[in-house]
């Protein structure tokens, strides 16, 4: 890992959690060249992102938190959405690489805000799933044909906000 860190100007991370991000970043930090850029696509927390930005900043290394959303099917198609926190200039430098696996890149402001947007997006998704389950139960109790009800919901305004 040390040799790779020393040779690369742009490093993308996508790790299972904040502990893994911290461990990998701490291991790479002494070997990264000043001016290089680390972009973290992991789902962690705003505080982890801010801590990594501060740690790397001490060495003159730049950082973006850029978690993605879109589920496995969109990942396979290269159409994920990235929510990016950190310096906009750093985002513009990384954009050509991010565009290879995203169809939408949204700058969310300061470091940590990408993670905050991801957490809120996940919350909305979970609320939607819970509401759908409740509506299916209500529909069944009202003796609506469930397949037909799901057809209506999936093609109408019930499927999304806006």
| CATH code of the domain containing 105 | 3.40.50.720
Q: How far apart are CA 66 and CA 36, in angstroms?
A: 16
Model pLDDT, residue 159: 66
- Look at the chain and report how many structural domains it folds into: 1
Residue 29 lies in a domain: yes
Catalytic residue list contains 118? yes
CA-based nearest residue to 66, from 104, 27, 28 = 104
Model pLDDT, residue 3: 83
Q: pTM here? A: 0.88
Model pLDDT, residue 5: 87
Residue 106 lies in a domain: yes
Residue 144 lies in a domain: no
Residue 158 lies in a domain: no
Question: From the candidates 77, 88, 104, 118, which is the catalytic residue?
Answer: 118
Instruction: Kindly list the averaged pLDDT for each block of 10 residues, start to end, along the chain of length 162.
Output: 88 97 96 97 97 97 97 93 98 98 98 98 91 90 93 77 51
Q: Compute φ and ψ for 45, nearest 5 degrees.
A: -150, 160
Q: Containing domain of residue 63, as a range?
A: 2-118
Model confidence pLDDT, tens digit, residues 115-127: 999 999 999 989 9
């Amino acid at each position: 890992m040390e040799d790779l860190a020393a040779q690369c100007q742009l490093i993308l991370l996508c790790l299972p959690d904040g502990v893994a991000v911290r461990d990998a970043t701490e291991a790479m930090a002494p070997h990264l060249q000043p001016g290089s850029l680390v972009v973290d696509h992991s789902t962690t927390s705003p505080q982890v992102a801010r801590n990594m930005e501060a740690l790397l900043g001490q060495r003159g290394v730049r950082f973006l938190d850029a978690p993605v959303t879109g589920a496995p099917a969109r990942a396979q198609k290269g159409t994920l959405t990235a929510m990016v926190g950190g310096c906009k200039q750093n985002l513009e430098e990384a954009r050509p690489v991010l565009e290879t696996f995203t169809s939408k890149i949204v700058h969310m402001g300061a470091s940590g805000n990408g993670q905050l947007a991801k957490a809120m997006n996940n919350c909305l998704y979970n609320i939607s799933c819970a509401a759908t389950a409740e509506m299916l139960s209500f529909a069944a109790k009202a003796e609506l044909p469930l397949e037909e009800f799901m057809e209506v919901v999936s093609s109408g305004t019930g499927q999304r906000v806006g």
